[in-house]
Chain A
Amino acid sequence: MNIVVNGEQRGFEGVGDLAALVVALGLDQRKVAIERNLEIVPRSAYLTTAIAEGDRIEIVHFIGGG
């Protein structure tokens, strides 16, 4: 399955939902926020949010800024 994560085309096998995607990317879900096709997904819904071919996912976190 091909999806776009943070602007990059990526292929994933066996990753069905956002919770699995976060794990597959090596991220800590407590430290990120996720948008799927421009809709924010609450952290509590990662397990129940399925990923589909062609989805555009944005995963952000806090970094230093003024």
Chain B
Amino acid sequence: MNAHTLPDDSWTVAGRTFRSRLIVGTGKYKDYATNAAAAEAAGAEIVTVAVRRVNLSDPSQPMLVDYVKPDRFTFLPNTAGCFTGEDAMRTLRLAREAGGWTLVKLEVLSDPKTLYPDMEETLRALKLLVAEGFDVMVYCSDDPVYARKLEDAGAVAIMPLGAPIGSGLGIQNKVNLRIIVEQAKVPVLVDAGVGTASDATVGMELGCDAILMNTAIAEAKDPIRMARAMKHAVIAGREAYLAGRMQRRLYADPSSPLGGLI
């Protein structure tokens, strides 16, 4: 018997079921080959992608889809770099045309320094996208009130940040994340803030359904090894959450029985 075999523990977003609880980004890698190898090592089934103008001066340059293939990974187009609802809408309509997918990641940013989401614009854009038939996973602040508004407006997943995008600071808002997890009826993912493996584990121990990360893997000295570490970290956190942690005690409690002491 293999005691390490995990039971079937899948999660479902917008009617699609996944076994991997680690979504990886495809930005900041030194090349697409490393990116593809890291996504494989992470065991990821979903990758986020950006929509940008093609390079007209060199149309023969490497393309993402030749390395990270859409038949191997579910592509989750994002709206990174969009600061208004209109920009986000335009980007995702193009993404839908380019790929034919309705599952998208909405992020409407505010301050370039913090890349904090503009929640008012995010909510407005979400309503427009839902009305157009998109399945929208939403990058958001860790405000439980806004998280509920997003869910009420039809978000298929709530994705609060654990710390600013690309900061690697780890999860700074455990209480808020836990409140959001407890109230949500759609999947909750930590999107942004993870710096190393233990951060991913913390997010999963809070009961999040999955973790989305990019920089923590892409900027590691050995991205493929870090991708593997993250895969294990997410599984560890998930298993610990399902196992149910022990109660905390202020004082010691011996692990060896006191009876029968010589």
Taking Cβ atoms with an 8 Å cutoff, the residues of A that contact B are: 5-8, 10, 25-27, 31-35, 38, 40, 42-43, 58-66
Contact = CB atoms under 8 A, between A and B. Distances in A.
28 contacts: A6-B54, A8-B56, A26-B60, A31-B98, A35-B94, A58-B94, A60-B52, A62-B77, A62-B98, A63-B49, A63-B52, A64-B26, A64-B28, A64-B29, A64-B32, A64-B64, A65-B26, A65-B27, A65-B214, A66-B25, A66-B27, A66-B28, A66-B78, A66-B166, A66-B192, A66-B213, A66-B214, A66-B215
A63 B54 CA distance: 9
Contacts of A38: 90
Contacts of B134: none
Contacts, number: 103
A65 B49 contact: yes
A60 B98 contact: yes
B178 interface: no
Given A7-B53, A26-B59, A62-B64, 17 more contacts: A6-B53, A27-B54, A27-B59, A33-B51, A35-B94, A40-B97, A59-B56, A60-B51, A60-B94, A61-B51, A62-B49, A63-B49, A63-B50, A64-B32, A65-B25, A65-B49, A66-B192
Interface residues of B, number: 39
Contact of A60 (B28, B53, B68, B166): B53
A32 B75 CA distance: 15
A65 B98 contact: no
Contacts of A7: 53
B64 A32 contact: no
B55 to A, nearest CB: 9
Given A61-B51, A62-B50, A6 B97 contact: no
Nearest to B23: A66
B49 A42 contact: no
A-B interface, 3 closest residue pairs, ranked by CB to CB distance from nearest? A65-B50, A66-B25, A66-B214
A34 B95 CA distance: 10
A33 B95 CA distance: 7
Interface string B57-95: 001100111001000000101101000000000100111
